[in-house]
Amino acid sequence: MSLISTDTCRLDGKLAVITGGGSGIGEATARVFADAGATVVVTGRRLEPLQRVAQEIGGHAIPCDVSDQAEVKAMFAQAQQITGRVDILLNNAGGPGPIAPVADVDMEEWVACMNINLVGAMYCLQEAAKIMSDQKSGSIINMSSLMGIQGYPMRSAYTASKFALIGITEVMARELGPVNVRVNALMPGAVSGENMDRILKRRSEAEGRPVEEIERENYTDVAALKRWVAPEEVGRAALYYASDLSSAITGDKMKVDCGRF
């Protein structure tokens, strides 16, 4: 008798909410979850990419700015109406924040980053915790980063927000464990895509160095596999936490980084 059934990694009958679901890791994970049988709700600020992703995967698009608590409450209420449940939350919405030394950083930009990456994440966590506690099951996946366990120059706001998400993950795992809700965190390394392209361009301007040099020194050459992480690779790691493959795992954090240690 096999100890692993094909059902273990399936999400059939489950509803998953993915914030920041219109591009990058969010979009890739939406596709992975849909392939595994989930009903997927993609949410974010821009309706057009959300509708494109939802149409392609047979899911649902709900616009929502996670930094607005009223919008978050309305989004979760609408998502819950689809199946009567919310089984999975990928708490993924966020932005890179200002790229500057601490001494020079624009504090308005710094606070704006925290309002999306941390306060917005908390708004989503509150709603998911209420729904999942009532139904006595669920899996929450917080999208942290390698910068959630090590500081990185020029990225104080992003680093602070991602460190905080690791702590919140551990808090919630203990709070929600008694009602059978698991809470874990993913920590991607350098993930290829438009977001990383924008960060490289901004770093190049801030540091006065070529993009290619920054890319090699800081992202690809320092990884054991000598390459970028693909968004779908993060999506497959999220599937592990979302599915019964990780049924005994909570309060955990996983690096998905091509070996940047």
Give per-residue pLDDT as tens, 66-96: 999 999 999 999 999 999 999 999 999 999 9
Whether 253 shows a pLDDT value over 60: the answer reads yes
Identify whether the C-beta of residue 93 lies closer than 8 Å to the C-beta of residue 19: yes
Point out which residues pair with 185 in neighbouring strands.
Answer: 142, 253
Identify whether the C-beta of residue 173 lies closer than 8 Å to the C-beta of residue 182: yes
Pairwise CA distance, residues 215 & 212, whole Å: 5
Q: How high is the mean pLDDT of the chain?
A: 94
Residue 123 among the catalytic residues = no
Whether 32 shows a pLDDT value over 90: the answer reads yes
Among 48, 52, 56, 59, which residue's Cα sits nearest to residue 90?
59
pLDDT score of 164:
98
Tens digits of residue pLDDT in 145-168:
999 999 989 999 999 999 999 999
DSSP letter assigned to residue 248:
T
Question: Average pLDDT in the 224-251 region?
Answer: 96
Whether 5 shows a pLDDT value over 70: the answer reads no
Question: Average pLDDT in the 130-138 region?
Answer: 98
Quickly list H helices, 5-120: 24-35, 47-57, 69-83, 107-114
Domain residue limits, the chain:
8-189+230-256
pLDDT score of 184:
98
pLDDT score of 214:
86
Q: Give the DSSP H or E segment for 86.
A: none
The single residue of 123, 158, 219, 241 carrying the catalytic annotation is: 158
Tens digits of residue pLDDT in 187-214:
999 898 877 788 788 888 888 899 888 8
pTM for this prediction: 0.92
State both tokens at 89: 């939350």
DSSP letter assigned to residue 177:
G
Whether 4 shows a pLDDT value over 60: the answer reads no
Listed in sequence order, the residues at least 6 apart from 24 whose beta carbon sits closer than 8 Å to its beta carbon are 191, 193, 194, 195, 231
Architecture of domain 8-189+230-256: 3-Layer(aba) Sandwich (3.40)
Pairwise CA distance, residues 33 & 13, whole Å: 11
Whether 6 shows a pLDDT value over 70: the answer reads no
User: φ and ψ at 93, to 5 degrees?
Assistant: -60, 140
Q: What is the full DSSP assignment across 52-69?
A: HHHHHHT-EEEE--TT-H
State both tokens at 56: 């392609």
Specify the 3-state DSSP secondary structure of 102.
coil
For residue 238, name the pLDDT band (cuts at 50, 70, 90). very high
Identify whether the C-beta of residue 125 lies closer than 8 Å to the C-beta of residue 55: no
Whether 2 shows a pLDDT value over 60: the answer reads no
pLDDT score of 219:
85
